[in-house]
Structure 1
């Protein structure tokens, strides 16, 4: 089965495709964005989009007709499309704009803008709604939270307790967790706070008594089998886990990243964590690997195509073929 890419120009209106008109879907790992090298110590915002074929262990470039460069965006899979939310434009300014990619048609379109311009934010889908949290605007970190619903568009939600950028986000049983990050340009924090989406009587962010093992800037997090995993961050390359079924609750170091990436992303899939990122110290390179949470073993994947791509985002979504 091959990936279907249309040569049609960018779309600016909503589009839908019935799965009844498509062949069987398979899951595909997409990697977006980053910055591209220009000259020594200079980078500009990139617009790379690659997909990973699990069966062939290879990456494929997805071409696009119009260049839309941005960096430090949040990426989620939502209703069969990939949403690239916010970020930093090539002029260095944050944006509230949203780009939506339909992998079935190979189309790009403009999505609904957020209420706040921001980069270095996090986003996650919980119960059919997209939540955009934190980030940076100007020189200040944000604590604003907003959610996108099909009925109401982007709506304001209760802000976080701490201002955060470069933090991790994960969700479990309708509760969103924000972990670590920067509270300002100088301070790196270890605090964890949670937002219970389902609780009508308790819809505000709550500080967890059990923070991260240490302050972390730029970590990533994921939930697998009722366990919360946090990976990496500027303080090191450790992988720690918190088992919600265990008592007492505590963080346990179980492994280390085999690379110490400057920027990376983590995508949970089944019992595995797929990691893509870029190492910028010494020989620069982009890598991809998978961590099996049951065996605690790492497996290397084929490296993404082309030059190193810092600040990548990754997501898994279905790919379909036309009947």
Structure 2
């Protein structure tokens, strides 16, 4: 995934984004199947945030952008927000959410060198303001971040686009970063998700060339600070995918090696089964979970944005009418409560950049 760290929603503040909202235009999608799309029934007490992208411009560009937008399911519109890092474009950053906060960590500077940074910024969705937090102990990109039991963890990754994977783990609590127990296996461009007090880590690669897949699945107990290897399976010979936890199962969505299949299991074991075919015509997609449902965001073969939900009855995918997603790859999705009510637990999705 791609790009950047961001800033406040002030219409007059910066870099050509002097407007308050961008209404979704159905006519923008030149897709004859639009009329058959289903309405999205996402929980209206959440807003969807889209951070970073590759290819979001006209004409299409394959460079990273510093794009940041919020989607309101009630008003059915996008609101562009402003970059907080003076236009600096980044790839390979990590995102973690806590209550009304979106934390954006690390990533690579788009300066041609591919160096990782250690910056940490926090966006408050209630005040629309950014706050600069203490830097991580190590610069890293293509890594994962997770909030568990009030602590923020930065896991794995690498220090540049030409270096090996890391085993290092850092923990942020009471305003400071400290070292935590390292993983057993170095990896970057992997996936992770939080389940209770545990963090599950799977997939990724370890060497400089990016062709040495890490097949071991590890879990981190945040109470004991111990890592345990729970399985080794060919299922996770993949990178650039997403892990989501839904209905007591963990789903591995997409990836470069198994782009068209989701695998799941009913525990934290390494026994993965039940392949589910994804939308084969959708690529460069990300996935997130909300209230027991799995959604994917990506682009169709004809470079049109796609938004779909898994239909559990027949394990197929239904195309949703909104929100309209423009063509883009390399994005990060954050789901945050919007204060309109509802007691649903804040959905968390974790994914490294690709």
TM-score calculated relative to the size of structure 2: 0.73
Q: Which residue number corresponds to residue 310 of structure 1?
A: 329
Gaps of 5+ in 2: 1-7, 15-43, 341-354
Paired residue secondary structure (2:130): strand
1:227 CA displacement = 0.6
Residue from 77, 89, 110 that aligns with 2:97:
77
1:141 CA displacement = 1.3
1:299 CA displacement = 2.8
Q: Aligned partners of 1:257 and 1:243: how far apart in 2?
A: 23
Gaps of 5+ in 1: 11-24
| Superposition pairs of residues 197-208 of structure 1, within 5 angstroms | 197-198=222-223, 200=224, 203-208=225-230
Is the aligned partner of 1:117 residue 2:139? yes
Paired residue secondary structure (2:109): coil
**In proportion to residue count, which structure has more strand?**
1
2:215 and 2:232 in contact (8 A); partners too: no
- Evaluate the alpha carbon distance shift between residue 216 and residue 111 of structure 1 in structure 2; reply closer, same or farther with a 3 A threshold: same
Residue from 193, 196, 206 that aligns with 1:183:
206
- Evaluate the alpha carbon distance shift between residue 93 and residue 248 of structure 1 in structure 2; reply closer, same or farther with a 3 A threshold: closer
Provide the alpha-carbon RMSD of the alignment.
Answer: 3.1
- Evaluate the alpha carbon distance shift between residue 81 and residue 64 of structure 1 in structure 2; reply closer, same or farther with a 3 A threshold: same
Q: Which residue number corresponds to residue 18 of structure 1?
A: none
1:8 and 1:107 in contact (8 A); partners too: no
Q: Which residue number corresponds to residue 186 of structure 2?
A: 163
Query: Quick check: 127-136 or 61-70, which moved more?
Result: 61-70
Q: Which residue number corresponds to residue 172 of structure 1?
A: 195
2:278 and 2:316 in contact (8 A); partners too: no
Q: Which residue number corresponds to residue 194 of structure 1?
A: 219
Paired residue secondary structure (2:226): coil
| Superposition pairs of residues 193-272 of structure 1, within 5 angstroms | 193-198=218-223, 200=224, 203-211=225-233, 213-236=235-258, 237-244=260-267, 249-262=271-284, 264-272=285-293
Q: Aligned partners of 1:257 and 1:174: how far apart in 2?
A: 32
- Evaluate the alpha carbon distance shift between residue 214 and residue 118 of structure 1 in structure 2; reply closer, same or farther with a 3 A threshold: closer
How many pairs align?
295
